[in-house]
Structure 1
Amino acid sequence: MKYLKLKLFICILFFSSIAFASPFGNKLIVPIIELDADSEHFAYVPAFDLKVGESGEIIRWFDKEHSGIVAMAAVVEVKDNRAKIAFEPFVGLEQSAFPTPLLKPQKNDEVVFRGFNDRAFLIAPTQDIYEKVRNAYPDVTWLHPDLFAAYLMDIGHTAPVKGDFRKICAQYATGVVYIVNLNEGQALDCQTFSLIKKDYITGRAPIEERMLPFFSRIGSTNQEWFSYLINDKRTQDYYIYFDALLKGEIKDEDATFFGRITNYFTQSIKDIF
């Protein structure tokens, strides 16, 4: 009887999420159905349409009105209608003035995937291509690249690395980064950089129109500054740089959970923890 109730509960959550369609994936809430017997860092949830590389948060309900984020999670395997997730305690809201709760995920905790996939940063070489992509996805809330450009200037980065995307996405509750790359657009999970969707609506910008490091109103007034500071030939062209970034050729020193998860997929590193 308990199994039937759990199954019904899962189905209600899944199909209710479908009613609110998002081009980059519908919000999905699933329970932890089993903890891994061999490792304290892994658990299992119903797979539904989850893909390897998708990120999420594990939520604990303390009562009917109060809940909290227990851990960050990422899908590392999908098999036999179950998704294996890796997780690590959540530290996004850590404050030195307050004690950090020592909570570990447990069976029946909720795992929320794609909770912010209706919000995205758009990285494009020109304003024309930026507007073209934005207009193609009117249901997405696009965070302006000025926010990201200002963040990069503030921390002294002339071109972004994957860790920069993770931080800005966490800061603005954003689930997706859409990067225009060569002749295609790639919508990526902002934490793991796993591919969500690919399209071919952008075309390629002429060399003389490409901005560094990407289109932004801040960049349009600081092109000489970027060109002066960027010495690596790879960063002198928008497409060459972001193609290298997506291929993992730009070194990612991010040692956070999602940084390790990304390297686990792109560099075949077998030990996440």
Structure 2
Amino acid sequence: MKYIFLVLVLVLELSAGVVKSPIISVDKQNDIATIKIDKIDVGMSGFISHKISEGHTVILKNIVVTGFDSQSKIATLKMSPYDALKNNALPSGKWVVEVGDDATLAFGYTRGTLISPNEEIYHRITKSVKNLQWVHPDIFATILSFNGHPTPLRDDFTKFSISTSVGLLFIYLEQKLFTIDVKSFKILTITDAQLKQESTQLPFYTRIQEIDAAWWGEGSDKLESYEPYYYKLLTEANPNNKELQNIVHNFKAKASK
């Protein structure tokens, strides 16, 4: 119960609401913008909106927090093309990010999905958290089946986030719960969650009995091992996370024995 309580506190903090702050500088050549804010986590994602007239705004860019200076309270944002709403019938416009535009971060953090190795762990974690709207992994499994990926790719998680407005991804690995911004795939926190794991379902716990596979291509093979694969996904997206590196090192040392 102690560890479930920690998870509950964690989710309460992350899902408190969206964070908004005006842009204070823009480096258009390097797609960098900055905001001034009291506190923000590196890895949080969001978007920049631009006011085009009274009562009308347009979203211009995706953003990810790549740095935060706690002394100056300046957060650095990496900008990229906004891809959540695609419609060729809509005008694209020639608006660009300007000082004074609004940065919105932690959008969708009230909705989360849990990747867990079995049903018991899934229910113990999700039932302990009441303020978060859980989107069942069955929906993700259905998307994987449509894409022909019994092994989920990082791009599958991104598309899932866009289609379901899920902002947080939780992955349970070896008695630890990884909280991830699903769009940036950056680790926000790693929390102890010492739950007994008696079985493992691949590629994760879902009530979908079979995920269809494509004839060929990345992701078309069935997943053969749970922990090594998800550690691989996390390491690729978080190469400089020292805590993750230590966890993976210890896992490999135990596996080699």
Q: TM > 0.5 between the two?
A: yes
Q: Distance in 2 between matches of 1:118 and 1:201?
A: 21
Cross-structure match for 2:239: 266
Q: How does 1:215-254 map to 2 (within 5 A)?
A: 215-218=205-208, 221-222=209-210, 235-248=223-236
1:49 to 27, 33, 39: 39
Detail structure 1 runs of 4+ shifted over 6 Å in the superposition: 229-233
Match of 2:159 in 1: 167
* Residue 53 of structure 2 corresponds to residue 95 of structure 1: no
Name the residue aligned to 1:137. 129
Distance 2:63 2:192 in 1: 30
Q: Match of 1:77, SS? A: strand
1:213 aligns with 2:203: yes
Structure 1 partner of 2:22: 31
* Per-residue deviation, 1:198: 2.3
Which residues of structure 2 form unaligned runs of 5+? Answer: 1-10, 242-257
Q: Distance in 1 between matches of 2:167 and 2:228?
A: 25
Q: Please, which runs of 5 or more residues in structure 1 have no aligned partner? A: 1-20, 249-261, 269-273
Cα-to-partner distance string for 1:133-171 (whole Å, 9 max, x where unaligned): 102221100101000001001111011121111110011
CA 231–52 in structure 1, closer or farther in 2 if over 3 Å, else same: closer
Aligned-pair identity in percent equals 24
CA contact (8 A) 1:24 1:196 kept: no
The worse-fitting range, judged by mean Cα deviation, of 90-99 and 102-111 is: 90-99
Larger strand proportion of the pair: 2
- Number of residues paired by the alignment? 224
Q: Is the 8 A contact 1:60 1:69 kept in 2?
A: yes
Q: Distance in 1 between matches of 2:66 and 2:119?
A: 36
Residues 112-149 of structure 1 deviation map (CA, whole Å, 9 limit, x = unaligned): 11121110111111111001110222110010100000
**Counterpart Cα distance in 1 of 2:171 and 2:94:** 37
Secondary structure in structure 2 of the residue aligned to 1:236: coil
**Letter of the 1:153 counterpart:** S
Aligned partner of 1:61: which letter? K
Aligned to 2:113: 121
Q: Contact 2:31–2:79 at 8 Å: present in 1 too?
A: yes
Aligned to 2:12: 22
Q: After alignment, is 86-95 or 113-122 more displaced? A: 86-95
Q: Alpha carbons of 1:111 and 1:74: their partners in 2 closer, same or farther (altered >3 Å)?
A: same
CA distance in 2, matches of 1:81, 1:70: 24
1:81 aligns with 2:73: yes
Q: 1:168 to 1:217 in 2, by over 3 A?
A: same
**What TM-score, normalized by structure 1, do the two folds share?**
0.74
**Paired residues of 2:151 and 2:220 also in contact (CA < 8 A):** no
Mapped contact 1:72–1:87 kept (Cα < 8 A): yes
